[in-house]
Each structure stands twice: as structure tokens, then as C-alpha cells.
Structure 1
Amino acid sequence: MSGVALHKIVKRFGEAEVIHGVDLAVEPGEFCVFVGPSGCGKSTLLRMIAGLEVTTSGQIRIGDNDVTSAEPAERGIAMVFQTYALYPHMTVAENMGFGLKMNGHPKAEITQKVQRAAEILKLEPLLDRKPAALSGGQRQRVAIGRAITRGPEVFLFDEPLSNLDAELRVEMRAEIARLHREIGATMIYVTHDQVEAMTMADKIVVLRSGHIEQVGAPMDLYDDPDNRFVAGFIGSPAMNFLKGTVRGGKIDVPGLGGAVSAPVSLPSEGVEVEIGLRPNALTIVPEGNLRVDMVENLGGVSYAHLRTADDERLVIETEKRGVASEGGTVGVTFDPSDLYVFRADTGARVRA
């Protein structure tokens, strides 16, 4: 297996620069996920690694090789796309072995590699079927099997689960995570779904507007975000944000009706900030002036959607039923140690 290293990678379309000097190291055997909103550059960056987009400047290395200008077939990668791109007239086995056949590999070798991939992906009973007789999840497993048979140094996944329904996405997340554990290959995976990123990744790369905002292990990004963007993007439901102003060594938060203490060294008097609180860090109490817009009861957990007097939104996660009723009013409490502080002007995290 090989790692991937990006050094000052830039991509321009005409005069528009969409990737801005990205530096990144993906270690051998690591499962790295690129995540971010639509248009942030994650798929473009993946396609540059694959050689499907020309790199304007910078260097891409896979293992010991500089592949910046190499053709896709020379990079030792295999890519799994959002669309399955299976040949409808071929069986599962023929689809999985087609690339090897086109490259002139012996029939016995092709059969052996297809069988091995089918065992890993639990496709043995389906090898004689054609794509029309398969479910969406089975088709995606065939597409992954086609990549496995090539024996690549690096697997690249471009939003492979976005065409599947919710239940199949959960199933395929587990399948891909198990595949990574079993074969130990380097994998780079693109998604806009932060739940996929949190549940699958060894390392998450959070992208925005062609820049890397933060890189880290899933729970490191969740517990210790560098800025408001990462704090709001990682976590489901998203972190709550309320406007405040530094006053007398505390933060005056109109939405909560008073001043709150913060576990950090605050900026100067009068500086505008935002406080951040995870939905599970807030507790609902009966007395307060927060309006209950809606309560989502999901069985073991409920989400109460509240509004402040300033029309700011709060989402509270609770395991207790009946603590909030739509149309009513409640209050909230929290431990000050669970509070995050961000500068209102830059979004940067205010740290201790």
C-alpha cells in the first residue's frame, strides 16, 4: 500500500482558482474522508489525485512516485464513482474482471481475483447475474469489486452512496468500513454527508471554498474544532450558535437573557462573539422564555426546536419525553465547560 501526498496543489479553470495551495498527507493504509458543502472542491481534489483533472501547479505523490503529470492508468489507483457504470449485458463476474481482461491478464488469474473480490464483498451467489437483476446496494458492491480486482495502491471513492436510500447507505457504510479493515488499503473518500465522514474515517479533511479548514480524527474535530465553520459542520444535529458581547469578563447573550461565564480567556471588552453549544450539552428546564417551535420524537431520543426572543434557533437533544410541548415556553441550562466561543468577525475559535 502507498500513501498520498499533496504539496501546494492549485487548480484553475480559466482565471477562476478553485483549489488554493492545498497541502495534505494521507498515510499508507489510512481511510481519509474529504467532507464539505457542495462546491467546496472536494470532488475536484479527488479527480486531481486520480488524474482526471489537470493540476495547474503543485505536486501529487503516490508512494514514492511523482504522479502530477501521469496518466490515470499509471497512478496505481482505482476509482469508484457515484454512478455504478456497469455494463448491462455482462454478468457480475464479467463486469468485475473486464478491466483485467482488457489489459491482457490470463483467464485463470482473472477468475481467481474476481472470486477473491466476490468473497470479500459477499457476492458469490450473484456472479452469474446481470446488473438489471441486482439492487442498488448490490450494484455498488460490484463496482467496488471491480476496483478490488485491479489491486490498486489507493482506492478513491467519489460520493458512492448518494444514489442509495437511507437504509442501504447505512448498510454500505458498514460494508466499506469492513472492506478497509480487511484489505488494509489506502482509501480516500469524498462525501457531503458528515455522518458518513464521522462513522468511517481515520482522518477527516474539512474543505470550504477550495481551502482546508481543519484535518483530524473524527472525534478530535467534534470535540476541538478550530473555527465556527468546522464546529457547525461536524456533528448531527449541528452545534447551536448564539450572538453575544464581552461584558465585564463574561459574555452577554441576549438570546439566553443574561451573561454567561466562559472557560476561556475572552477578547477585549465590547468585542462581539458567538457562543456554541452542542444539542446534547443543553438541558431543558420548565421556566424560561424560549418558544418551542417543534418537537421531533424519535423513540429513544427527542429533538426540541426552540426560538429565542431574537429569533435565534436552538436544538436540544433529550432522552426525556414530555419536557417540551409545541407552542409552549421553556428554559435551558448547561455546564459552562461545554461552551465554545468564536469571534464574530473571523469565526476563529477563542481558546483558553
Structure 2
Amino acid sequence: MSGVTMHSIIKKYGDVQVIHGIDLEIDDGEFCVFVGPSGCGKSTLLRMVAGLEETTEGQMHIGARDVTRLDPSDRGVAMVFQTYALYPHMTVKENMGFGLRMNKHPKDVIAAKVAEASRILKLDDYLDRKPAALSGGQRQRVSIGRAIVRGPDVFLFDEPLSNLDAELRVEMRVEIARLHKEIGATMIYVTHDQVEAMTLADKIVVLRLGRIEQVGAPMELYRDPDNKFVAGFIGSPAMNFLDGTITEAGVKINSLKQTVPTGLAGGHRGRRVTVGLRPEHLTIDPAGDAVTVDLVESLGGVSYAYLLTEDGERIVVEERGDKRVSEGQRVGLTFETKRLYLFDPETEQRIRD
């Protein structure tokens, strides 16, 4: 078993606390992604799993072993960093086998493990090349291969795709997903890109300011966010947030002067709320006159219309099909009422029916 369990994990730098009592269980063979904005503590938490950062308080387990105070080399983990960190004077084969050579493994064992990693990562044609003769994506595959040959219990990825261009990032996402499917190891992956998180993860851990905001499967977080932060962070483009008031008939979206039916009317009448609407759950009504089309971002099969209300609130709407709005046009909006989210303006917590 190679799952990872954290009990009340705290990290302090002097008097400054950056990780606040993390409790988390990552199952054996699970692909878990830590996601959140810069400074949320995701890389620090990953480095604590690796043993590169000392745990101030709490316990860290990998499988049945308490690794809280173990050295990184004794934890059974392998880490792939943002930078490739390859030895420029060594070939691909030598780079991948270097760690095993340093640990005095037999040559035939090293050759077999390098060959297997090369097969998995499709590097057979590049084994005799040096890093300078490789593309960025190929270098990152070599870095991953170096981790594979060690046979770790847990793979750790610290924003491994951030130095690649957009096309290579997509390619490497597919490679990493395929790698996980083939070897079935426990993987923990850090990224600030929620698209990477949604496409790769079995489980997503959303972090903010050193605390867990929500844990769940990608579509669970997308469809059922616990708070405004998670709702706004998961999904691209981000969820629209508008001021509203609950009335007897439903929730009135103040800037649109429209009331949408909701199950919260009655006892909540008069309560101020923040209304969340995803761009794909809104439909433009060309015959309406509620908002102005400020900008249209056309991406081919889909467009995003950026609308402005009279109060200056911005609303993003996804459009598909051949008929799309143009800049300066006045339009109306219709809603998928079952896809409307309400949040408390003060606590930012979800208000549920």
C-alpha cells in the first residue's frame, strides 16, 4: 500500500504559519492534484510529503509507515520538478540510470529498468542523445523516466508543465495521464492551472492560504462547490458572480432586474446573496435589451461574449453554433435555473436549498 495520509499537518517558518492543520487521505494508486493560486501552500505541502520541508507539527504516513521525520531518501518517493535538472554531459540513458548507479545497483538491473521506462515514455529513439538535442517535452519525459526507474511508492510532480508551450503542455498532460494508467502508482501533482487539475485528477484538493477549501472528484467540485472561492476557481472561464436579493418569487439579480425562481424563497426573503452563474449555463436572447455586448472572444467552435450590465458588472456567456452576437449589440439573457448557485456575501459559503 502506498497511499498518503496527513494528520493535522502544520508548517511554520519562525512565527509565520503557512500550512494550517491539513487533514487529508490520498488512496493507494490515486492521482491527486493540489491546486490553488500562487502562495496557497500547495508546493510547500508537496515538499513536506517529499521530506524537503520539515513538518512542524502533525504526522505524515506513506502506506503504513510514519515518515514524518524520515529523510527524503528513505520515504520511497520520487519527485519531478518544474525544471528538468538533467546532467548536460550525460546521454538520456545515463541521466535516467544515474540514481541507480549512485546506489550501486547492478548494471543489468539498471539497463532493464531504463529500458522499461524508455518504453513507457517512448524515448527509445533518444537514448543516446544529450539533453541539448532534445525538445522541452522530451527533456521532461527524461526527467519523469529518471523517477520511474527508482520504482517509488509515490510520484510527486511540482508544476512539471509550466515551462512548456501550450501545445506541449497538452501533449504532456496526455502522456502523464497515460503513465498513471499504465503503472498505477500513487501520484501527487501540484499546479495552479485548474484545466490541468480537471483533466488529470481522480481527486482535487483546492487550497487557499494554507488551508483546504474542498476535496473531491473534478466534476464533484465543478457541479457542487462548497463556497465562492472553489466555484470561481474550478471551471474555465470562471463563474460569473452577481449581486442578488431573495424575494417571494425567487432571487432577483439586481443589475439585470430579473427574478429567477429558486427553492430558497420564503423564510429567506429579503436576504442579500451572491448569485453564481457559469458561462455555459447562460443563453443570449437577441430580442432582449438588458446588457451590452462589450467584447467577443472567438475560438472557432466556441465564442465567449463579454457583456456589461447598466451597473458595470461583467458577465461572460459561452456561445456555440453559427449565429453569434457582435460587439455593441444589446441583448437579453435566459438562465438554467437548476444551475444557479447562491453564496453568502459575507462568509462566501454556499447557500443550499
Q: Where do residues 1-352 of structure 1 align in structure 2 (5 Å cutoff)?
A: 1-248=1-248, 250-264=250-264, 268-286=268-286, 287-352=288-353
Q: Name the stretch that deviates more: 166-175 or 288-297.
A: 288-297
Looking at structure 2, the residues matched to 257 and 173 of structure 1 have their Cα atoms a distance apart, in angstroms, of 43
Looking at structure 2, the residues matched to 246 and 294 of structure 1 have their Cα atoms a distance apart, in angstroms, of 30
Which AA in structure 2 matches 1:342? F
Looking at structure 2, the residues matched to 295 and 198 of structure 1 have their Cα atoms a distance apart, in angstroms, of 25
SS of the residue 2:351 aligns to: coil
Looking at structure 2, the residues matched to 14 and 270 of structure 1 have their Cα atoms a distance apart, in angstroms, of 47
Q: Does the 8 Å CA contact 2:232/2:239 hold for their aligned counterparts? A: yes
Gaps of 5+ in 1: none
CA deviation map 1:274-320 (0-9, x unaligned):
11111111110111221111111111111101111111111111113
Give the deviation of 1:321 after TM superposition: 3.6
Q: Does the 8 Å CA contact 1:265/1:351 hold for their aligned counterparts? A: no
Give the deviation of 1:324 after TM superposition: 1.3
Give the deviation of 1:264 after TM superposition: 4.0
Looking at structure 1, the residues matched to 5 and 237 of structure 2 have their Cα atoms a distance apart, in angstroms, of 33
Q: Does the 8 Å CA contact 1:228/1:342 hold for their aligned counterparts? A: yes
Which AA in structure 2 matches 1:42? K
SS of the residue 1:170 aligns to: helix
Q: Does the 8 Å CA contact 1:154/1:187 hold for their aligned counterparts? A: yes
Q: Would the alpha carbon gap of residues 185 and 303 (structure 1) be closer, same or farther in structure 2, given more than 3 Å must change?
A: same
Q: Does the 8 Å CA contact 2:244/2:274 hold for their aligned counterparts? A: yes
Compute the TM-score of the two structures, normalised by the length of structure 2: 0.98
CA deviation map 1:106-161 (0-9, x unaligned):
11110110000000000000000000000000000000000000000000000000
Q: Name the stretch that deviates more: 319-328 or 262-271.
A: 262-271
* Percent identity (aligned): 67
Looking at structure 2, the residues matched to 267 and 80 of structure 1 have their Cα atoms a distance apart, in angstroms, of 53
Looking at structure 2, the residues matched to 238 and 67 of structure 1 have their Cα atoms a distance apart, in angstroms, of 38
Deviating beyond 6 angstroms after TM superposition, the runs of 4 or more aligned structure 1 residues are none
Query: Cα RMSD over matched residues?
Result: 1.1
Looking at structure 2, the residues matched to 238 and 350 of structure 1 have their Cα atoms a distance apart, in angstroms, of 19
CA deviation map 1:38-57 (0-9, x unaligned):
00000000000000001000
Looking at structure 2, the residues matched to 131 and 250 of structure 1 have their Cα atoms a distance apart, in angstroms, of 62
Q: Does the 8 Å CA contact 2:247/2:269 hold for their aligned counterparts? A: yes
Give the deviation of 1:265 after TM superposition: 5.9
Compute the TM-score of the two structures, normalised by the length of structure 1: 0.98
Gaps of 5+ in 2: none
Looking at structure 2, the residues matched to 329 and 321 of structure 1 have their Cα atoms a distance apart, in angstroms, of 19
Looking at structure 2, the residues matched to 316 and 3 of structure 1 have their Cα atoms a distance apart, in angstroms, of 41
Q: How many residues align?
A: 352
SS of the residue 1:235 aligns to: coil
Which AA in structure 1 matches 2:81? F
Looking at structure 2, the residues matched to 252 and 318 of structure 1 have their Cα atoms a distance apart, in angstroms, of 24
Q: Does the 8 Å CA contact 1:249/1:269 hold for their aligned counterparts? A: no
Which AA in structure 1 matches 2:117? A
